[in-house]
Structure 1
Amino acid sequence: MFLFRQAAVDKDSNDNSTLLCVKFKTTDKSVYSKALAEYISSSYAEPPEAYRDDLRVLDELREAAAATFDVNSNVLKRNIRYYGQLSFILTKFPADANINFMWSSAFDPESGASGKDLYFERASVLFNIGAFYSQLGCRESRNDKDSLTRAFGHFQNAAGVFNLLRSKIVSECRTQLTTDLSSYMLTTLENLMLCQAQECVWQRSVLTHMKDANVARIAMQVVEFYDAAIESGSQGSLTSTIPASWVDHFKIKRLFFLAEAQTKKANECLAGAHYGEEVARLQAAQELCNQAQELVNYDQRWAKHIRPVIVDALKAQQEFVSTSRTRAERDNDVIYLDPVPAVTSLAPVTPYKLAMPKCPEIIENPGAFLGEEELGTPLFKGLVPFVIHQAASLYEDRKDQLISKDIVAVLDELTADCESVLASLNLPNALEAIQKPIGLPPSVLVGADEIRSDGGYIGLKRLLDNALKSNQSATALVDASEKALDDEMREDAQVRLGAAPGSERAKRVESTELTNTFRSEIQKYRGIVEKARESDAALQSQVEAWSKFFMLLSSSRDEIERQVPSTTANPLTDPHHSQIIARLQQYMGEVSIMRRERLKSIEKLKRLASEDDVAPVLNEEMQRLAAQSSTPILKFELHQFEDLFAERLDKYTSWKVYIEEEREAQSELLDSIREANQAFIAARSTHPLLQQREKALVNLETAIKRYREASFNLHDGARFYASLEADLNKLKEGCLDFAMARHIDAQDLMGISQSDMPSDISQAPYDASTAPSAPSAPPNSSQGGTWDPTMPLRYAPSK
């Protein structure tokens, strides 16, 4: 019987082979040394000179692995060594270490992908290792048992490599991949390699004259592998990626081995005197041969994908099956007269699986071979793994989060609560009115200086006027855009007025169908301008309400002091009152001490955190884990350091006790201040000018806040109007361009000469009033304070 043997061994082509091999991926030149040296220096804070030899060796390994491939064991070892070192390097550097790798697709050299991803580099190298094993298997002569055994091993190794690539390696890649690294393609390649490995077993079983029943079962397993290859090879977009001849090859081989299984099973029936079943199985085999011949005829008529050596094999099989069937039918009809069962009733042939994916251990576990001759000394062995730097960074983040959010923020909130309570009691302003019966508090002096340097009330009014003008300009731009569309719509109505049915004028597309986008934009911007106008009006009301105070704060210090009542003429001289004031001053002093001590504690905490270096402890933990491992390729995960993090951060929990102590002490102090303030208020009630002075100082403080709010909103609004003006000008120009184009079309339809139109559309009428002014748009601003802005700036005696 004819065997699928290697017809010829061609170094540059496998067209004369009955098996398929995988071509190599190609790559552009990439250099590690510069990028990794910079990374070591910047991210690891180590001198890159210490790793000069490692960088050189790594560049040499890549250059050798990417060189033109000769299919021999030395080149394969060179690629495996590079792959093993890459696997180790990935424990030292991040995948995106700023080195760009470009790889082509093995099935389409013109198509490729690139990315700064060491995992992509490793996956591409591993793909070529799988291709190496496939080519080594195809280059075996397969004319004897030893050659078939070697080919069987190579194909199993190729299947194992593609399986490892699909199940573990590709999933780690972080960049766009070439199509040959897709899950469907790798599954197809794995199935193909298993097909060819099982085919080597079948061929060896035929050469060694194994029992026909076993040969049939081995052939049936080849069929199952090809079924899997056909299924995965026909998935989705893979049909446009996989070579066109491959799926046809799969289908032909499947039919061949189905016929082979039935033929061998028929031989078993003949030996067991089951003559009717022998005839039925040979009939089934001949039908399969006919189906294969139909595929061959179709292919030779159109695509010519199927190799001649396979066509010859199919012809030999068909002749053998036909001769055997003729002999079996004649013998049964003349001699045995055994009933011939229907082909559909024949028991199926049970597959016998011998081929399976077997990834070489040096590829599946390269760490076990680092330091040995196969892979050499691990490169960058002394470099701290990148995950340790990640762990240190993660610890720092958690520590900062704990300190800033759970400690410092809580202390700041306590201080803010204290400030809020004091402000509600008008402290320390009320005390300053007593302690400083004349003059102005520092906060008022600083605020007044700031207002004067900012231009004062006049400058604020100028910004407000600009905002109002900008809003008017924006409104004019929106109106101009809408007017252009309205004029065009009226002209369009005139064009179709009185037009004959079916004429070009009657068929003209109506304006309403063309201007929906413009109309929507106009409506949107009109709403924006209206909201901005409302915001401007609210801000104008606020500025006008506080204008007297803004003008006062814009004047000299002497003028402001003259407007603030002085209590020098009637101080609090009662001894009891003096005691009340002294007690309140004492409590306020304690508040100041509490704030200072709290700031000192926060500084102490920050010093403690800055001295908390977790890196040495992480290195010790890494060395401990490494000592427990049997391989230098350790994939450290951040979760492995969680217990260490918890232990290190535990020392900061004592600060939560300090926070509770501070909260309790502050609560007691504020209660005392509230009590003392009640007595202080009672004492002040007899002082005629004191309340007026306090009221004046509070109003000045509030006016300074209102000025800052208005100034910020007006400056922010100016930026808003500048952007809005640009958008509205684009909208207006778009509407004008549309209207002009439609006007020209209308003139043509109406038969009006183009000479009646302006020669330069830039000369079209234009309203100069739409020119934009200085922009400004105030966001909404709240109005408040204790002073009634409708009242004149006078302070009447309290009742």
Structure 2
Amino acid sequence: MSTNLLFVPYRKTERIEFGAAIRDIISKEYYQTPSAFEGDIREVDTLRGDIIDLGSTPHDLALLKRYYVHLCALEGKFPNDLVEFPWYGTLGYRVTGPVKLKSFFFERLNVLYNIASLYTHMALEQDRKNDEGLKKACLYFQYAASHFALIVKLSEKETSVTLPLDMQKDTIETLKFLSLAQAQEVFWQKATADKVKDSLVARLAMQVSDFYNETLQSANRGEGFRTEWISHITVKKAHFEAVANFRASLASVASSKYGEEVSHLQRAQNVINGVSPNLKFVSQAVEQDFEGLTKIISETLRTAEKDNDLIYLQDVPQTPPRIISANVTKDLPLDEIVKPAEALKTGSYGKQLFRDLLPFDIIQISQAYRERQSEYVQRHLAVPIKSLTKMLHEFLFMRNLPSAVETVDKPLALPVSLLDHQQEVKTKGGVVKLKRALRDIENLSMDGERLLAGANDRLKLEAEEDELLRQRQGSKHWTREPSATAAAPFYQRIKDLENYLAQAKNGDKTIREQFNSIESLLVVLASSEAEIRNYIPNSKARQLDPSLRRVVAELKECLSKARKLEFERDNFLEVVEVKSEQYNILPKIVSEYKAMQQDLKDVKLDMTSFEPVFGKHIKNFQSDLDFLESQKKTQIELEHKIDDLDKKFNHMNSLQGSNDDRAKVLKNLDFAYNSFVDLLNNVSQGLKFYNDFNARCQGLIQEIDQFVSKRRVEARDMEAELNNRFQDMKLNSSPQKETPKDNITIQRPQSPALIAPKAKPAKSKSGLWNPDSGIKFN
């Protein structure tokens, strides 16, 4: 069908392994088997395959909408970065891209774009010789505009996804206003065919011009539009402003306002003269319409000026009266797009896919609660119980126990506690293990520094490339964000990681100093019994006073109870760790989720929804909390008793002649052992920190590499577009006029009533359309 309107070309995509990605994620992350969903997996591939090569029929529209509705449901079932979706831009002179993003949101926007585009195709295929074709064309253009408006609205809400230039706000708003302009133009065409009075036709035409003006402003802010499109929109804007003034001049004649008639026609003539250079870039259909309008306005103006000068002699206003626009378009409801869950329940889009598969949000929420449970166990049970034991060790160390007692009780034998410590130091690797761990920490720290330096180098290189292109193309044309702005989040993350690394290195220094202070003592502890015996001074055997012997016996009993407390706590920690690992909250989350589905139409899946479930679940650790409280009470009582006995022991022992040298050495060895245990824990945490830290750095580098790659593709496309524009400008500046290429697919209109001949004053008919009532087709 011949037409002088524009359609929006489809964005292009290619086939992807969508079903395979779903199968893989179910196998790895879900507590279900992918074989149970094979039919749904195949259907997903079919749905997406159906929207790759589109026609322009209602069937193609149904395929797009069906895929969109199911895509929204899939987004709630699977992680957002499940699969990479590739899309190509088509607004410029050549196909650009692809831009590949792991984002369901990006996929949805592209499908919405193609739905809007398909509506413009369907609008242009209508037969605008009759009312039915005009009605459908007007309606389809409005649906296109509504879908483009929805893309803008969704993009403003979702800021985490960086869209390509041809999907950003200014570009999409250009397409929205273009669709509105063409919807208004089609209705204007119907109004002229229905012989609506001139004043209303003028208002309709002025709104067409206003829409084209907004289209032009958005296009100039955006990137990638062809010269033919810009010229087409520019000419259309002027065309309908001139038409509006021409029709207003006819209305002025009907009111015997011949001076206003001349003013309107002069305004129309000026508007037409202002866009004449753009005609060489528009299609033949648009050019012929414009030239026909130019001719009749020129002839009518000469006649009007002559009649007014010779007959009517009215003053001609310098500026004609303002023509108030009459907008008949509106934002149409998109129920199945805005409420896809409800649309899916109707059955019109096929059965719901993966109905029995747990939403990925449930898996994530369950995992988050498991992490909270683990954190709870650590904070409220493991850490406090370990702190109690550490406090007990410090309490005994400050009193030189049990060394002081064993020095008196067994002056020639090695203390049992010392032999236990010797065996443990040997078993855990002693000095060799600590040295190896410290070397590993140092190496991992240097790896972290290299990774951060590599991240900075990548950003620096990208900034240099961007600056070089900015200098080459000029800041006026190179309008994308500078690297410093675009990469600001990466720079901040690097700075944060550098601060973490500096703090960690300070901690490493403290650990090394602690190790150096006890290294020689650890060598002794890890040696043979004979070597330890030679290292420790002996005490002379002596006859103990019965009162001192009783105190020693009581102290040994209390120290035995202290060791028993440690054993109980070690066993407790093992049991709690197993309990925390096996006690899974997922079944309870799933039960609550199913109950919520039965009670509510729309279930909002977030952590707060399941807080009561977690509250009940965590109460199962109440018995463990009770054990912790009993341990605190027992330790306090035991420490009081040991403190009293220790004071008596020291007093009596000093009266009978104590061996301070032996006690001092044993105390140092006890200190070395306790420090060794602390160091093992510290280096273990240090190794974990650096492994996690370097993993974060590597993840950051991957993100930066993707960012740099995307910026390079963007820069390549921008540079190609700018170079093409420059070449086109050189070609178009040639004195020979060429027929425009058929890049914008615009054709000849079907005898639209562009204008009406100048008529004598006539009364308007009753019962005609009122612009305030909107569009109403009977």
User: TM-score with structure 2 length normalisation?
Assistant: 0.71
Q: What pairs with 1:22-421 in structure 2 (closer than 5 Å)?
A: 22-66=8-52, 68-97=53-82, 99-107=83-91, 108-168=94-154, 172=158, 177-235=163-221, 238-239=222-223, 241-296=224-279, 300=280, 305-343=281-319, 346-372=320-346, 374-421=348-395
Q: Any unmatched runs of 5+ in structure 2?
A: 439-508, 687-778
Question: How far apart are the structure 2 equivalents of 1:91 and 1:546?
Answer: 57
Change (3 A) 1:272 1:445: same
Change (3 A) 1:546 1:33: closer
2:530 — aligned with what? 558
1:739 — aligned with what? none
Cα offset, 1:680, TM superposition: 0.7
Amino acid at match of 2:247: K
2:669 counterpart of 1:693 = no
Question: How far apart are the structure 1 equivalents of 2:335 and 2:640?
Answer: 76
Question: How far apart are the structure 2 equivalents of 1:120 and 1:23?
Answer: 18
Secondary structure at the counterpart of residue 684 of structure 1: helix
Amino acid at match of 2:355: K
Checking the alignment, whether the CA contact within 8 Å between 2:397 and 2:667 is kept in structure 1 is: no
Q: Any idea what the Cα deviations from partners look like across 1:729-756, whole Å, max 9, x if unmatched?
A: xxxxxxxxxxxxxxxxxxxxxxxxxxxx
Q: Any idea what the Cα deviations from partners look like across 1:276-301, whole Å, max 9, x if unmatched?
A: 111111111111111122432xxx2x
Which sits farther off after the overlay, 583-592 or 32-41? 583-592
Change (3 A) 1:580 1:552: closer
2:607 aligns with one of 626, 634, 638: 638
Question: How far apart are the structure 2 equivalents of 1:599 and 1:452?
Answer: 17
Q: Which has the higher contact order (CA 8 A, sep 6+)?
A: 2
Question: How far apart are the structure 2 equivalents of 1:201 and 1:119?
Answer: 35
Question: How far apart are the structure 2 equivalents of 1:618 and 1:681?
Answer: 60
2:595 counterpart of 1:624 = yes
Question: How far apart are the structure 2 equivalents of 1:443 and 1:652?
Answer: 33
2:561 counterpart of 1:594 = no
1:472 — aligned with what? none
Question: How far apart are the structure 2 equivalents of 1:109 and 1:706?
Answer: 67
Question: How far apart are the structure 2 equivalents of 1:253 and 1:546?
Answer: 87
Question: How far apart are the structure 2 equivalents of 1:453 and 1:167?
Answer: 61
Checking the alignment, whether the CA contact within 8 Å between 1:388 and 1:619 is kept in structure 2 is: yes
Change (3 A) 1:227 1:638: farther
Change (3 A) 1:34 1:706: closer
1:788 — aligned with what? none
Checking the alignment, whether the CA contact within 8 Å between 2:555 and 2:642 is kept in structure 1 is: yes
Cα offset, 1:575, TM superposition: 1.6
2:738 — aligned with what? none
Checking the alignment, whether the CA contact within 8 Å between 2:537 and 2:662 is kept in structure 1 is: yes
2:611 counterpart of 1:663 = no
Change (3 A) 1:198 1:435: farther
Cα offset, 1:332, TM superposition: 2.0
2:482 — aligned with what? none
Secondary structure at the counterpart of residue 685 of structure 1: helix
Change (3 A) 1:641 1:189: farther
Cα offset, 1:563, TM superposition: 4.7
Change (3 A) 1:230 1:711: closer
Checking the alignment, whether the CA contact within 8 Å between 1:219 and 1:258 is kept in structure 2 is: yes
Cα offset, 1:22, TM superposition: 0.9
How large is the RMSD of aligned CA atoms in angstroms? 3.8
Cα offset, 1:28, TM superposition: 2.0
Secondary structure at the counterpart of residue 102 of structure 1: strand
Cα offset, 1:221, TM superposition: 1.6
Checking the alignment, whether the CA contact within 8 Å between 2:213 and 2:237 is kept in structure 1 is: yes
Secondary structure at the counterpart of residue 143 of structure 2: helix
Question: How far apart are the structure 2 equivalents of 1:712 and 1:650?
Answer: 30
Secondary structure at the counterpart of residue 99 of structure 2: strand
Question: How far apart are the structure 2 equivalents of 1:615 and 1:550?
Answer: 47
Q: What pairs with 1:696-735 in structure 2 (closer than 5 Å)?
A: 696-701=665-670
Cα offset, 1:442, TM superposition: 5.4
Secondary structure at the counterpart of residue 268 of structure 2: helix
User: TM-score with structure 1 length normalisation?
Assistant: 0.69
Cα offset, 1:426, TM superposition: 0.8
Question: How far apart are the structure 2 equivalents of 1:184 and 1:575?
Answer: 97
Question: How far apart are the structure 2 equivalents of 1:404 and 1:711?
Answer: 18
Q: Any idea what the Cα deviations from partners look like across 1:384-432, whole Å, max 9, x if unmatched?
A: 1111111111111222212211332122212211211111111122222
Question: How far apart are the structure 1 equivalents of 2:391 and 2:31?
Answer: 44
Question: How far apart are the structure 2 equivalents of 1:569 and 1:186?
Answer: 96
2:541 aligns with one of 569, 572, 576: 569
State percent identity of aligned pairs.
27
Question: How far apart are the structure 2 equivalents of 1:556 and 1:295?
Answer: 99
Cα offset, 1:159, TM superposition: 1.0
Q: Any idea what the Cα deviations from partners look like across 1:450-509, whole Å, max 9, x if unmatched?
A: 68999999xx9xx9xxxxxxxxxxxxxxxxxxxxxxxxxxxxxxxxxxxxxxxxxxxxxx
Cα offset, 1:186, TM superposition: 1.2
Question: How far apart are the structure 1 equivalents of 2:364 and 2:426?
Answer: 49
Question: How far apart are the structure 2 equivalents of 1:173 and 1:82?
Answer: 24
Q: Any idea what the Cα deviations from partners look like across 1:246-284, whole Å, max 9, x if unmatched?
A: 222222111111111111111111111111111111111
Amino acid at match of 1:581: V
Question: How far apart are the structure 1 equivalents of 2:562 and 2:27?
Answer: 49
Question: How far apart are the structure 2 equivalents of 1:376 and 1:389?
Answer: 26
Change (3 A) 1:584 1:639: same
Q: Paired residues, what number? A: 608
Question: How far apart are the structure 2 equivalents of 1:210 and 1:182?
Answer: 39
Question: How far apart are the structure 2 equivalents of 1:267 and 1:106?
Answer: 43
Cα offset, 1:75, TM superposition: 1.6
Which sits farther off after the overlay, 156-165 or 606-615? 606-615
Cα offset, 1:369, TM superposition: 2.6
Checking the alignment, whether the CA contact within 8 Å between 1:564 and 1:693 is kept in structure 2 is: yes
Cα offset, 1:192, TM superposition: 1.0
Secondary structure at the counterpart of residue 91 of structure 1: helix
Change (3 A) 1:625 1:352: farther
Question: How far apart are the structure 1 equivalents of 2:132 and 2:322?
Answer: 32
Question: How far apart are the structure 2 equivalents of 1:416 and 1:447?
Answer: 15
Cα offset, 1:598, TM superposition: 4.0
Q: Any unmatched runs of 5+ in structure 1?
A: 1-7, 10-16, 464-534, 717-799
Checking the alignment, whether the CA contact within 8 Å between 2:205 and 2:241 is kept in structure 1 is: yes
Change (3 A) 1:707 1:178: closer
Change (3 A) 1:326 1:597: same
Cα offset, 1:39, TM superposition: 1.3
Cα offset, 1:84, TM superposition: 1.2
